[in-house]
Structure 1
Amino acid sequence: MPLACHRLPRFAVGDPARGQDQAAASLDREEAAPAGELHVEGRQAEALKLYERTRRLLADQLGVDPGAELQATFEALLSRRT
């Protein structure tokens, strides 16, 4: 699983809020594709677990919600769309 030992990316220098935004966007992109692939393979439970771990990581470490791409993947999982 992509999040097994996941660490948030660190972005050098600059505004800490901007670094958090970049870290959140990076994690969002990195996890949306694998969750979508699991979903297409019919592995919805695994995809939902991946989404939940990512959502929790974003909330706990950055204080943000999943971005649009990961949220769209989650909504597709719930409606079982591909």
Structure 2
Amino acid sequence: MPKLFGLGGYLSAYRRKITWPQSPLEARQYALLRRAAELVDLGRLKHTLTRRIDGINAAGLIEAHALGEAGNMIGKVVVANR
């Protein structure tokens, strides 16, 4: 299954229905991001999230930082406000 690279916050921005595209280039990027989001929803693309830490607080941030500093983390760590 292909991995999803380099989209960062853009997929979540798409899901929030932000007000772009502003230019033809942004329109093309928007269409590609929309399609990528659809493929993720269908399970055809796989994200690189390997760890989710709930709660943006000191303990969660310390844990996320420690995971990154350990040097053996593969994938992404997300600290979510839930």
Q: Same fold by TM-score, threshold 0.5 exceeded? A: no
Q: Higher strand fraction: Structure 1 or Structure 2? A: 2
With the length of structure 2 as denominator, give the TM-score of the two structures: 0.31
Bigger Rg, structure 1 or 2: 2
